Structure 1
Amino acid sequence: MTWKKLLFNKKELQLIGTLNGGQSFRWMHNKDSGEWTGVFSKTVWKLKEGDDYLQYKVVGSLIKSPSGNEQNEKDNDVFGNLLQNYFRLDMNLGDYYKKWSESDELFKRACEQFYGIRMLNQEPVENLFSFICSQNNHISRISSMVEKLCTYYGEEICNHDGVTYYSFPEVEKLAQPKVERELRDLGFGYRAKFIQKSAAQIVEWGGVDWFNSLKDMKYQNARAELMKLFGIGPKVADCICLMSLNHLEALPVDTHVYQIATQNYLPHLKEKKNISEKTYAEIGNHFRSLYGDLAGWAHTVLFCADLQKFRQNVIEDPDKKKVRKKRKH
């Protein structure tokens, strides 16, 4: 397929902050070409930013074409709609940024350069097992583990430029009893048991349909259901609620978010030696009172702005057309 375009305001989507900010672990950036290559919805994508549009190319897909084996113009609607949904492009982010800036001076400063940070709308199976891999881990190793899950248990999508791409596995594949031993042999450690046991629970409770039922629940109820899974604590449950179940008020609190909160909003929590259930709730509730129903999304912008790796990057402001270093907080 040739390059296609999705038109939108440049400030509505920034790929580096959105795809490289710890939400998803299957995107790679080629700095020379500016292209992003990634996998979601059993499809391999290439993305590139334009002045007022997003360029995209489908490299390969397991999605059945509505027109048969050959992809044609009608298929653009299918893949264009997938991208629209994935980046939640139906939501006018500028309106929310304005509202959040009026509520918080720190956000107002951060969003000057961290414009267009979108909350990805991910598939819950991939989202959950990716974040099980993220526990006590760093980005490169998380990405490696996620790719191992895909290579050993997913379906082959295509081979492109010497790389074979696989879909994320169905939860039924991960639920098989042998998976724990196999994953331990692949270096997953204690996470192997978490993955196999929680997958078996999900299958027992209805698979993907169970996840869909959580979308219809209130946030706190959906979170409580997720925490019944083997090895799933408050932070991972909140990640799933926020990133794939449309509970955008969910706010995952890790040590980094704790530091943002104590340094800028809740200094009395600095004396706490660990993040207790009470402290976790206080931080989440503070941001929800500050930002409202999309608190998890707003806090993600602060999270990106505060990450060391983003401070070291250089980003071009789409309006002022000049390059500048990110501000240190």
Structure 2
Amino acid sequence: MVPKGFTALPLPIAQLSLAAVLKCGQSFRWVAYPLVASEEIKAEQPTEAPTHEYRFALKDRVICLRQDSNSLFYRAVFPKDVADACKDPKVAKKKEEETLDWLNDYFQLDVDLISLYTEWAERDVVFRENVKDRFAGIRMLRQDPWENVISFICSSNNHIGRITKMVQSLCTSFSPPICTEPSPEDGEDPSSPQVYHAFPSPKQLAADDVASKLRELGFGYRAEYVQRTAEMLCEEHEDPQAYLLGLRKLSTEDARAELLKLCGVGPKVADCVLLMSMDKKMVVPVDTHVHQIALKYYGLRGTPSGKGGKVPMTPKIYEAVGSKLVETWGDYAGWAHSVLFTADLRSFASYGLPTPTGTPVKQSLPPTPVPPTPSESDSDYFGTSPTKKRKTRASGSPSKLKRVKTE
């Protein structure tokens, strides 16, 4: 059953799982609304009805997505002037094509994820035994490089919940509203319209007073990094966003060198941007968490040590970890790394496990971002994790990746 107002795109969840991809720390602006299925839908689709609607604001529209096991459902919401123009069938058709083109590009739907999972499972016993079936549908997004750069500058020494809050505050504080749209009619109160903002442009974040405003919003030292990066790009390039898009055409080494010129961009942030928005599929962003995965599961030499039981990240360790994982997974190593990283997140501890009724657990985003307390944050992929010791896992609770003897 296609939800009212949506268009169906045949796409099995093994090719794209919205609940996983939009929660694993790639993008921080998707908002999810829980859906309460009507009795009619429950009767016709007792286990297949979409459970959430996901929304994302572009410059000229809001993308709305739902999903069942076999289809992706999409529609776009436009500002009033564009919506009025869409009364012309030709305009409506063009806008529909634009939305579909964006979906294909953003989710990189030309890449056969099922084939990649099969390849990784053949190359890697850890992937085959722990990840392949349980964590299906996790693919790499192809994001706007400008948004990606600023988002990951905010990621320094941070966790997913707080990064989400910071990125969304950038939008609401520095970018005008695009449009309003009620929450899904079968979800929250439809009488309370939601306001959507696009990501601010470099010019909007380059103003002199931006850093002080960001400090007031809780960005800390990252406030200067954000403002200075925007200012640098505006001073040096007539069209900063076109310049960043142009880096996709450069070699990995040359694109990395350009990114490292930006304020607040170090090797790991640069590699996140290369992987997530610049088509460098083999790049593996490395931090202490990814280093621990390589030590535990992939035979990388070394013993965890140092403060908090972690080895300081040196250029030598960074290169060794990345090389080992590329050797293990091949040309799409960065994509495989994202799946393994997601599988090891505490928030995914029960993902894909059967419930008492035998139905796999369906993961979801909260309706509004709520940053976790420091002791609840997921790993240290985005920087230094809290030093507070984790509580011992309760007996019988879901485990993370199991140690498997490598071949």
TM-score after normalising by structure 1: 0.91
- Unmatched 5+ stretches in structure 2: 37-50, 183-192, 306-310, 362-396, 402-407
Which residue of structure 2 aligns with residue 323 of structure 1?
A: 360
Which residue of structure 2 aligns with residue 12 of structure 1?
A: 15
Pairwise CA distance, 1:72: 2.5
Is the Cα–Cα contact under 8 Å of residues 155 and 168 in structure 1 kept in the other structure? no
In the alignment, the residues of structure 2 paired with residue 6 and residue 49 of structure 1 have an alpha-carbon distance, to the nearest angstrom, of: 10
In the alignment, the residues of structure 2 paired with residue 275 and residue 232 of structure 1 have an alpha-carbon distance, to the nearest angstrom, of: 16
Is the Cα–Cα contact under 8 Å of residues 176 and 197 in structure 2 kept in the other structure? yes
The C-alpha deviation readout for 1:134-162, integer Å capped at 9, x for no partner, is 11112222111111111121131111233
Is the Cα–Cα contact under 8 Å of residues 62 and 157 in structure 1 kept in the other structure? no
In the alignment, the residues of structure 2 paired with residue 120 and residue 61 of structure 1 have an alpha-carbon distance, to the nearest angstrom, of: 26
| Equivalent of 1:22 in 19, 22, 25 | 25
Which residue of structure 2 aligns with residue 41 of structure 1?
A: 58
Paired residue secondary structure (2:337): helix
In the alignment, the residues of structure 2 paired with residue 266 and residue 228 of structure 1 have an alpha-carbon distance, to the nearest angstrom, of: 34
In the alignment, the residues of structure 2 paired with residue 307 and residue 73 of structure 1 have an alpha-carbon distance, to the nearest angstrom, of: 41
Q: Which has the higher strand share?
A: 1
The C-alpha deviation readout for 1:82-128, integer Å capped at 9, x for no partner, is 11111101111111111111110111121211111110010011111
In the alignment, the residues of structure 2 paired with residue 89 and residue 221 of structure 1 have an alpha-carbon distance, to the nearest angstrom, of: 27
Paired residue secondary structure (2:302): helix
The alignment yields a C-alpha RMSD, in angstroms, of 2.4
| Change over 3 Å in CA distance of 1:153–1:8 after alignment to 2 | same
In the alignment, the residues of structure 2 paired with residue 100 and residue 326 of structure 1 have an alpha-carbon distance, to the nearest angstrom, of: 24
Which residue of structure 2 aligns with residue 181 of structure 1?
A: 212
Which residue of structure 1 aligns with residue 48 of structure 2?
A: none
The reply on whether 1:190 has 2:221 as its aligned counterpart is: yes
Which residue of structure 2 aligns with residue 143 of structure 1?
A: 164
In the alignment, the residues of structure 2 paired with residue 256 and residue 55 of structure 1 have an alpha-carbon distance, to the nearest angstrom, of: 35
Which residue of structure 2 aligns with residue 112 of structure 1?
A: 133
The C-alpha deviation readout for 1:211-231, integer Å capped at 9, x for no partner, is 122111111221121111111
Which residue of structure 1 aligns with residue 308 of structure 2?
A: none
**Residue identity in the other structure for 1:196:** Q
Which residue of structure 1 aligns with residue 230 of structure 2?
A: 199
Which residue of structure 2 aligns with residue 134 of structure 1?
A: 155
Is the Cα–Cα contact under 8 Å of residues 313 and 326 in structure 1 kept in the other structure? no
The C-alpha deviation readout for 1:309-328, integer Å capped at 9, x for no partner, is 111345679xxx84269763
Pairwise CA distance, 1:276: 0.5
Is the Cα–Cα contact under 8 Å of residues 45 and 57 in structure 1 kept in the other structure? yes
Is the Cα–Cα contact under 8 Å of residues 291 and 321 in structure 2 kept in the other structure? yes
| Change over 3 Å in CA distance of 1:105–1:94 after alignment to 2 | same
Paired residue secondary structure (1:200): helix
**Residue identity in the other structure for 1:304:** T
Q: Which has the higher contact order (CA 8 A, sep 6+)?
A: 2
**Residue identity in the other structure for 1:278:** K
| Change over 3 Å in CA distance of 1:48–1:316 after alignment to 2 | farther
**Residue identity in the other structure for 1:147:** Q
The reply on whether 1:221 has 2:254 as its aligned counterpart is: yes
In the alignment, the residues of structure 2 paired with residue 49 and residue 316 of structure 1 have an alpha-carbon distance, to the nearest angstrom, of: 20
Give the percent of matched residue pairs that are identical in Structure 1 and Structure 2.
37
35-44 or 285-294, which moves further after superposition?
A: 35-44
**Residue identity in the other structure for 1:250:** V
TM-score after normalising by structure 2: 0.74
Which residue of structure 2 aligns with residue 243 of structure 1?
A: 276
Q: Which has the higher helix share?
A: 1
The C-alpha deviation readout for 1:35-92, integer Å capped at 9, x for no partner, is 2323243232221112321011223369968x93436244221111111111101111
The reply on whether 1:260 has 2:281 as its aligned counterpart is: no
Pairwise CA distance, 1:179: 1.0
The reply on whether 1:208 has 2:241 as its aligned counterpart is: yes
